[in-house]
Amino acid sequence: MNDLLTIYIKKLQNNKLTRNTIDAYTRDVKRFIDFTEKRNETHETVDNITIMAYSEYLKKEGKANSSIARSIVSIRNYYKYLIKNNLAQNDPTAYFSLPKIKRNIPQILSIEEIDELLNQPEQLTIKGCRDKAMLELMYATGMKVSELLSLTVYDINLDSLYITCNNGRKNERIIPIGTHAISCTSEYLKIRNKINLNNLNLLFLNTKSEKMTRQGFWKIIKEYAKTTSIKKTINSYTIRHSFAVHLLQNGAGISAVQELLGHNSMSTTQIYSTVIKKNKIAEIYKNTFPRA
């Protein structure tokens, strides 16, 4: 690996960024460095033309605008570090305009569909009991998958009905949880020791008594989605999105939802209001147009 990149990664680790964030930065910057080396360019000779060429290269690779924008931001942060430490003079991304990102409206399940999905795990088995607790807790809190899988047994307070969610940064948030999620989690904790053979503090473990991966959780969602009658596409984000919309539909304020989700920007949370507005218009049309 490039020496400068190695130093940069250590800096990111010292900033206590999440593992996923560090991995993403590493992939983006390394891919860019490989591209420049093939062009016989160094970090000092790279310029705006190089960035334009790299953007076109990513497009030909089939990368979406969101992926390209993220890559450019990663490169920009990398050069900010180099300039700050007198390892580079200029930021080649300074005059490059990020590609416009189309914000897709997330897929949402109705309350009835959420009930059907969450009722799929068979609680009489160890795996089913664990899966039921995971799905119920995710819907009750709206946590990201990475946050859910990083929970420890010390993060959940069954008596006070709240959970401490730490996303790997300096900020953490306290999220209230409902009695149903508490009940399912309590049942899981009774049998958790049967899969915790390595004596870990992580709340949820895979069948090998190790930390569950994002891919592992995705397979769980996919497994249960297949057994439902739901025709919508269901992925690891669907429950989080549904949590947000259901709160807004039942009168929660947008700022409260933003805090519960851990969004830094209100604009990120605002997209859920768009979902509600779209659904209301469709409902009005259905109920009022004679040939709907």
Domain that holds residue 10: 3-84
- For 216, list phi and psi in degrees, rounded to 5: -65, -40
pLDDT of residue 167: 63
pLDDT of residue 169: 55
Domain boundary among 84, 101, 132: 84
pLDDT beneath 70, residues of the chain? 1, 101-105, 167-171, 280-283, 285, 288-292
pLDDT of residue 106: 73
Q: Is the distance from CB of 206 to CB of 212 less than 8 angstroms?
A: yes
Q: Is the distance from CB of 96 to CB of 55 less than 8 angstroms?
A: yes
Model pTM above 0.85:
no
60 and 193 inside one domain: no
265 lies in some domain: yes
Cα(40)–Cα(38) distance, rounded to whole angstroms?
Answer: 5
pLDDT of residue 153: 94
Specify the DSSP element, H or E, that contains 175.
strand 172-176
pLDDT of residue 168: 56
71 and 133 inside one domain: no
Domain count for the chain: 2
78 and 150 inside one domain: no
Cα(64)–Cα(71) distance, rounded to whole angstroms?
Answer: 11
Burial class (CB in 10 A: 0-12, 13-18, 19+), 216: middle
- Kindly give the pairing relationship between strand 172-176 and strand 162-166: antiparallel
Closest by Cα among 35, 43, 20 to 68: 35
